[in-house]
Structure 1
Amino acid sequence: MPTSIGLAVHLAVSELQRRGIDSTPLLVRSGLSEAALASHKRVKVRAAIEFLERVALALDDDWLGLTLAADFDLRELGMLYYVAASSERFGDALKRLDRYERIANEALDLRIVQGLGGRVGLFYNGVPRHVDRHLMESFAVTIVRLCRQLVGKRVVPLSARFMHHRADGRKIQQFLGCEVSFDADGDEIRFDASVMDLPVLGYDPYLSDLMVKSCEDALVRHAPGISPFRTDVENAITPLLPHGKAQAKTVAEKLNLSERTFARRLAAEGLSFGEILDRMRRDLAISYLEQKLRASDITWRLGFQQPSAFTHACRRWTGKSPSAFRSRPWPA
């Protein structure tokens, strides 16, 4: 079961206390423990979602996610705040959130797509999306607040959309300052492309390096399937892909390992070179298709010799041809 640092749960407990309402019964019914929260242990995301729904009813606040996210100290995000705040530009901060958000919430998957506009897609892994309203809205509000604080401007998104239903979205629309739609086929915040190039106030390259190192270490501890060696392999593969040289022997040489030692290191972690390469190609292909790159360009970028080879791989990954996948309603 995916877990998180439980920031929304802590904020909700504080709101209950402020209103003079005992949080204990609501925590127990949601499968949460006061003792665990007091010791800052991680909580199950599904339990957090259930707790927020119960708190919303107890407080008669149908916009609880917005209420909680609207004014808390963003530094409570912990290292995620500081790794974003030490970035040079807002686009860089989003890319770091894209990579490191699993540290705070293993169920949340951010996808940053830069093209005609800066698009932030939000997805759940291991948690059914239809059970949630408040947590997803709190994520969206927090991202917009973070943008405004980091660049020192009241940035207004171009649009926002959510999969869940709302009969009247004027409250969150007023906060975000943009059109907000519900009953959508995905969760997304869209910024103007120029927002990505806005400088982050107080950019500190030394703090930046320190926070990236700390987050990489934390990612290994909190993100299942991620290992330092796998990251090294992926980093070695990336520049080789467009030249068709992403082969085990070449990557082993870049890592100063013999081919036999390289294979043994992978096997020790339950990995194979082919698995890592295929997963990287899949993730990059989806990203490139969403960015509307031509199939011939993607074929070259992924190191395939022929367009037909890429088309075959795309069908295996997504069940669709590149053109069919590109024309589907975003996100998949």
Structure 2
Amino acid sequence: MRSAGCLSAIPSATGGIARLACARVAESGKDPAALLSKAGLTLNDFSDPAVRLEVSTQIMLLELAAIELEDDILGFRLARGFDLRQIGLVYYVLASSENVADALRAAERYSRIMNEGVRLRFNMEGHTATIALEYVGVDRMGDRQQIEFWIVTLVRICRQVTDGRLVPSRLQVRHLRAGMPPEFRMFFGRDVEFGADRDVISFPVPVALLPLVGRDGYLHDLLRRYADEALVRKAPHGATLRSKVEKTLTTLLPHGRGVAKEVARQLGLSTRTLSRKLGEEKTSFAEILDQLRAALAKRYLEEEQLPVSEVSWLLGYRELSSLTHAFKRWTGMTPRQFRSRRSQPS
């Protein structure tokens, strides 16, 4: 066991990939608890999405799950099936970029929010744009499932944000496989070079310069500021349930899913347990949601070029009138009056 004092030097990850794998194990009718035990984890700790995992532990869990499920390309399948929006803030930074190259540069900068053990390097030289994946403080040669998940996910992101089936000009990975899985060729549109000296996805430069369908310069700059804060922010020891609810709500609100049932599900709790535990902290879900929306609304409205309609969307309101009514309750002003008042010279 490593001492707690050494933990800050050990690369960690959000554990999202490992949680997807354990969910797949549970769906197959098998108990993931035994799998977690082999990795030194308990089901109780693992069910908390706020708990980060050592990257080496995630790699071990993925390989164990692949064996348990008798699925040699589990990482590939998991990456094909999950909703890219589950990535959270980093995905929205990428999706609001100007073009593919800008999105991949953002991935290079912010990917360590998700996984400190995988460093991305984007480069454009000559006729080729490349995104290389380098392992930091983690044994690369012991991994197949995680790296394949990353490569599939990066290609999926490039396709989704351009609304096109982009085909890499070259795909190289360091680990070996006995043969080319037909699913790989079908998905990527070309063969993967196994046993290479590096892990790299290559595209022609014109592909890297393709504009993104959801590009939004102002929103992108706003989200980058939040991502920059996330890079340096350290999660407090023993974070309260309230802070976990606030963090979860921030990602759910833009999709209109900021409800107690969904937050409880993502935190691995029943709705009743969530309500009881928040009561122990002398608060409630409705109070947290209302106070968070009020704080975020003021913060977003300080960004003068962000349309009020977009502020409404970011806060999970379907109608602008709903934001207007709520904001008048919080401040006695409409959102536009608040923004106008702040812009007046003192």
Q: Give the TM-score, by structure 1 length.
A: 0.65
Alignment match of 2:152 (pick from 141, 145, 159): 141
Matched AA of 2:165 = R
Matches of 1:119 and 1:152, distance apart in 2: 20
CA RMSD of aligned residues (A): 1.3
For residue 46 of structure 1, report the CA deviation from its aligned partner: 0.3
CA shift for structure 1 position 222: 5.8
Aligned residue in 2 for 1:20: 29
Distance in 1 (alpha carbons) for counterparts of 2:137 and 2:44: 25
Secondary structure of 1:87's aligned partner: coil
1:111, 1:33 → 2: CA distance? 35
What TM-score do you get using the length of structure 2 for normalisation?
0.63
Which of 225, 235, 255 in structure 2 is aligned with 1:213?
A: 225
CA-CA distance at 1:39 after TM superposition: 1.8
Counterpart residue number, 1:38: 47
Please name the residue that 2:190 is paired with. 178
Partner of 2:248: none
Alignment match, 1:4: 13
Q: 1:71 aligns with which of 60, 81, 99?
A: 81
| Contact persistence 1:119–1:191 (CA under 8 A) | yes
Alpha-carbon distance, 1:69 to partner: 0.3
Deviation, 1:174, is: 2.2
Note if contact 1:103-1:222 (Cα within 8 Å) is conserved in structure 2. Answer: no
Instruction: Name 2:117's counterpart in structure 1.
Output: 107
1:121 to 129, 132, 152: 132
Rounded to whole Å, the distance in 1 between the matches of 2:47 and 2:219 is 29
Give, in angstroms, the shift of residue 206 of structure 1.
Answer: 2.5
Residue 300 of structure 2 corresponds to which residue in structure 1? none
Q: Distance in 1 between matches of 2:48 and 2:76?
A: 26
1:34 positional shift:
2.0
Deviation by residue 1:134-173 (Cα, 9 ceiling, x = unmatched): 0001000000000000000000001111111101123322
- Residue identity opposite 1:78 in structure 2: G
Q: Cα offset for 1:33?
A: 3.0
Which sections of structure 1, spanning at least 5 residues, go unmatched? 224-332
Q: Is the 8 A contact 1:158 1:179 kept in 2?
A: no
Number of corresponding residues:
223
CA contact 1:108–1:123 (8 Å) conserved in 2: yes
Decide whether the 8 Å contact of 1:87 with 1:204 is kept in 2. Answer: yes
Asked if residue 187 in structure 1 is aligned to residue 196 in structure 2, the reply is no
Q: Could you tell me which of 195, 216, 230 is aligned with 1:204?
A: 216
Equivalence for 1:157: 168
SS of residue paired to 2:195: coil
CA distance in 2, matches of 1:161, 1:143: 14
Partner-residue secondary structure (3-state), 1:179: coil
In the TM superposition, residue 205 of structure 1 has moved relative to its aligned partner by 2.1
**1:175 and 1:222 mapped to 2: Cα distance?**
38
Inter-CA distance 220–202: structure 2 relative to 1 (3 Å threshold) = same
